[in-house]
Amino acid sequence: MLNNVAAVLLNGVHPFELGVVCEVFGLDRSDDGLPVHDFAVASAEGPTLDTHVPGFTVSTPYGLDRLDAADLVVVPAGDTYAVRGYPPELLDALRRAIDRGARVLSVCSGVFVLGAAGLLDGRRCAVHWRHAEELARRYPRAVVEPDVLYVDDGPVITSAGTAAGIDACLHLLREEHGPEVANAIARRMVVPPHRDGGQAQYIERPLPRSACDTVGEVLMWMRRHLDEEVTVEQLAARAHMSPRTFARRFQQETGTTPYRWLLRQRVLLAQELLEATDEMMDTIAGRTGFGTAAALRHQFVRSLGTTPQAYRRTFRGPRAA
């Protein structure tokens, strides 16, 4: 059972992500019949810590020894956590927590601290999409999943940026205390108890540029004709190559196949139309080459983990027809 929770901080901690942890685990909601956690904020770098907000500091009387009693140790995000070093005593404390059966949860860039402690080796993990490449580079034994809101892999729970920390914390409450507790706390926080989809729908993906110009003109043509059905043979003819040579050069220069590249561009265009227009789904499906609203929905869900209608509600809001 989850009773004792400690949030451990380094200099540069983000107040919002720390606030998420305090809101979920640190408030006394016994008036609603909800469990009360023995919660404390502990410091890994002295009694007073800087945050990433100028002039905003955090003070706490607790040090790393507070982690030894915790059932859950939480590492909120920090401004330089992705590039800095970490106190060896903190890494030892995290490893001891796992060894004695406690759980560890990170919010956004707090996952880099878990990686330094070796807790991501062979495990799936989440992080804000902006940090995904750096996390994979620094900890190649970690299985980074950049499109999800959070990952629960045994005793280690990792979440993507900012509000995804709420999702991970509520998931843990649901697992430890049951759905009634998680739902009640979500209502108190005025947030959904569970969000569908993943962070793929929030990722900024500018149109890729070819490393060289062998297929560059074909890429430009494909972007202008996303609503048309094309074959590799047709594209190869436009590039004055054999289909086999074209497919090989396309893979070398874009890192993917013509079909997958075209599919991704169509989804990107659908996102733009959902955000900027009130066009009907059938119209968007036609303009993006999916043909039907059902096909658009299928590929949209596969790529982004959410439906076109849900995406439009999120990013266009009440303006949508």
Q: What is the pLDDT of residues 125-163, one digit of tens each?
A: 999 988 999 999 999 999 998 888 899 998 999 999 888
User: Which residues make beta-bridge pairs with 6?
Assistant: 40, 73
Please state the rounded mean pLDDT for residues 253-261: 86
CB 105 within 8 A of CB 75: yes
Higher pLDDT, 106 or 318: 106
Q: What is the pLDDT at residue 86? A: 95
216 contacts 321 by C-beta, under 8 angstroms: no
- pLDDT of 206 above 50: no
pLDDT of residue 201: 52
Structure confidence by residue, pLDDT tens digits, 269-279: 998 888 888 89
Q: Is 313 exposed, middle or buried (0-12, 13-18, 19+ CB in 10 A)?
A: middle
Cβ 10 vs Cβ 44: under 8 Å:
yes
Q: What is the pLDDT of residues 155-191, one digit of tens each?
A: 999 999 888 999 999 999 988 998 889 989 988 998 8
253 pLDDT band, cuts 50/70/90, is confident
What's the rounded mean pLDDT across residues 25-51? Answer: 96
Percent of the chain clearing pLDDT 90 (strictly above): 67
Give the Å distances, CA to CA, from 104 to 3, 67, 169, 265.
14, 10, 11, 38
| Average pLDDT, integer, range 251-268 | 88
* 202 band by pLDDT with thresholds 50, 70 and 90: low
| Whole-number average pLDDT of the chain | 89
Instruction: Give the mean model confidence (pLDDT) for residues 249-253.
Output: 86
pLDDT of residue 197: 59
Residue that has been written with the tokens 């629960």 in this structure: 152
Secondary structure of the chain in the HEC alphabet? CCCEEEEEECCCECHHHHHHHHHHHCCCCHHHCCCCCEEEEEECCCCEEEECCCCCEEECCECHHHHHHCCEEEECCECCCCCCCCCHHHHHHHHHHHHCCCEEEEEHHHHHHHHHCCCCCCCEECCCHHHHHHHHHHCCCCEECCCCCEEEECCEEEECCCCHHHHHHHHHHHHHHCHHHHHHHHHHHCCCCCCCCCHHHHCCCCCCCCCCCCCHHHHHHHHHCCCCCCCHHHHHHHCCCCHHHHHHHHHHHHCCCHHHHHHHHHHHHHHHHHHHCCCCHHHHHHHCCCCCHHHHHHHHHHHHCCCHHHHHHHHCHHHCC
Distance CA 145, CA 131 (A): 11
The confidence band for 56, taking pLDDT boundaries of 50, 70 and 90, is very high
| pLDDT one-digit tens code per residue, 264-311 | 899 989 988 888 888 999 999 999 999 999 999 999 998 888 899 988
Whole-number Å distance between alpha carbons of 279 and 300: 16
Looking at the predicted structure, is the pLDDT value of residue 211 above 70? no
In the structure, what pLDDT confidence band is assigned to residue 204 with cuts at 50, 70 and 90? low
- Binned at pLDDT 50, 70 and 90, residue 321 comes out as very low
Q: Is the pLDDT of residue 209 over 50?
A: no
Q: What is the pLDDT of residue 118?
A: 97
Q: What is the pTM of this model?
A: 0.68
Neighbours of 221 (CB within 10 A): 15
Grade residue 207 by pLDDT with cuts at 50, 70 and 90.
Answer: very low
Task: Look at residue 73 in the predicted model and tell me its pLDDT.
Answer: 98
Mean pLDDT of 231-260: 90
Given a contact cutoff of 8 angstroms between Cβ atoms, the answer to whether 94 and 73 are in contact is: yes
Q: What is the pLDDT of residue 148?
A: 84
Domains of the chain: 4-202 (3.40.50.880), 216-319 (1.10.10.60)
Contacts of 244 (CB under 8 A, 6+ apart): none
pLDDT at 38 over 50: yes
